[in-house]
């Protein structure tokens, strides 16, 4: 047994798998505990030790899997996901890169790639994305056009909402989710009473488009699940049909033979 096969046996073992899940969970908890100041003051050192140990285990695990699978490693997108998440945590976390330090908690997302049921759920969610692409593009176009329009029209009326294109994009995203849109609309309408047309039209159009986005996802989910059952049943049925047809054709052959024989007689 080569070294590589031995490493593979270890990496693929259910026990090793369970161990990695355990490390992720423990690490997720310690990263949560680190947000509590007085715990960090008192137990800062041991918490950091756990964190670095978990990190070291992840690096070793990834290197081992990379050694076992080599080029194939990069074909599985989940492996790339693991690599990016662990890579972020290895990046220097000082000075201007303070955000990267906060991103360490993303390591807990490795649970998704490690627990099979989670992986399946996320794969199913991602599978719904392509079907949404064109409606999402339409929504983005509506958002952009409305934002340019709102910036031009209401820049001076409500500068905190529509002061520049970025603010308008954020405000109209907020209106799209139905959040506090009446505050925005009433402030604008105080000076431009006609603005209700813009808001009502925008809400009607985006609500309807978002609804259709949701329906597209729901229909494709339903098709996948219900459709499969239907297809299986249809396959069953057509198998019975084929058997019946074969039976009838065989019978017809026999009747023909019978006729031939009785003709001979």
Residue closer to a second copy (CB basis): 63 or 133: 133
In angstroms, rounded to a whole number, what is the distance separating the alpha carbons of residues 51 and 30?
A: 7
**DSSP secondary structure letters along the chain:** --HHHHHHHHHH-HHHHHHHHHHHHHHHHHHHHTTSHHHHHHHHHHHHHHHHHHHHHHHHHHHHHHHHHGGGGGGSHHHHHHHHHHHHHHS--SGGGHHHHHGGGGGGGHHHHHSHHHHHHHHHHHHTHHHHHHHHHHHHHHHHHHHHHHHHHHTTT-HHHHSSHHHHHHHHHHHHTTSSHHHHHHHHHHH-GGGHHHHHHHHHHHHHHHHHHHHHHHHHHHHHHHHHHHHHHHHHHHHHHHHHHHHHHHHHHHHHHHHHHHHH-
256 makes contact with a second copy (CB under 8 A): yes
Closest approach of a second copy to the CB of residue 264, in Å? 10
Contact region for a second copy (CB under 8 A) — 2-10, 24-32, 47-55, 67-75?
A: 24-32
Tokens of 106: 């993303």
Residue closer to a second copy (CB basis): 63 or 222: 222
67 makes contact with a second copy (CB under 8 A): no
Contact positions with a second copy (CB under 8 A) in 168-227: 170, 173-174, 177-183, 185, 189, 196, 200, 203, 207-209, 211-212, 214-219, 221-223, 225-227
**First vs last C-alpha separation in the chain:** 77
47 makes contact with a second copy (CB under 8 A): no
When binding is defined by CB under 8 A, the residue of 69, 108, 157, 187 that contacts a second copy is 108
Residue closer to a second copy (CB basis): 11 or 108: 108
Residue closer to a second copy (CB basis): 68 or 139: 139
Closest approach of a second copy to the CB of residue 59, in Å? 20
22 makes contact with a second copy (CB under 8 A): no
Closest approach of a second copy to the CB of residue 190, in Å? 10
63 makes contact with a second copy (CB under 8 A): no
Contact positions with a second copy (CB under 8 A) in 68-87: none
When binding is defined by CB under 8 A, the residue of 145, 159, 191, 201 that contacts a second copy is 145
Closest approach of a second copy to the CB of residue 114, in Å? 12
């Amino acid at each position: 047994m080569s070294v590589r096969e031995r490493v593979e046996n270890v990496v693929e073992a259910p026990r090793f798998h369970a161990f990695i899940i355990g490390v992720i969970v423990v690490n997720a908890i310690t990263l949560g505990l680190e947000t509590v100041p007085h715990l960090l003051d008192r137990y800062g050192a041991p918490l950091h030790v756990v964190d670095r140990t978990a990190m070291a285990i992840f690096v070793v695990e990834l290197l081992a899997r990379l050694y076992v699978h080599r080029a194939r490693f990069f074909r599985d997108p989940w492996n790339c996901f693991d690599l990016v998440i662990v890579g972020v945590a290895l990046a220097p976390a000082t000075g201007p890169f303070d955000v990267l330090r906060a991103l360490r908690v993303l390591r807990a997302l490795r649970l998704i790639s490690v627990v099979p049921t989670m992986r399946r759920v996320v794969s199913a969610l991602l599978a719904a994305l392509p079907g949404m692409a064109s409606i999402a593009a339409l929504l983005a176009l509506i958002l952009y056009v409305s934002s340019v329009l709102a910036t031009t029209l209401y820049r001076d009326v409500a500068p905190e909402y529509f002061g520049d294109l970025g603010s308008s994009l954020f405000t109209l995203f907020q209106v799209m989710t139905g959040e506090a849109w009446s505050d925005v609309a009433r402030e604008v309408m105080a000076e431009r009473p006609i603005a209700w047309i813009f808001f009502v039209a925008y809400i009607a159009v985006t609500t309807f488009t978002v609804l259709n986005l949701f329906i597209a996802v729901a229909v494709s989910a339903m098709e996948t699940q219900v459709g499969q059952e239907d297809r299986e049943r249809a396959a069953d049925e057509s198998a019975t049909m084929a058997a019946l047809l074969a039976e009838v054709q065989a019978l017809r052959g026999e009747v023909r033979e019978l006729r031939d024989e009785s003709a001979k007689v």
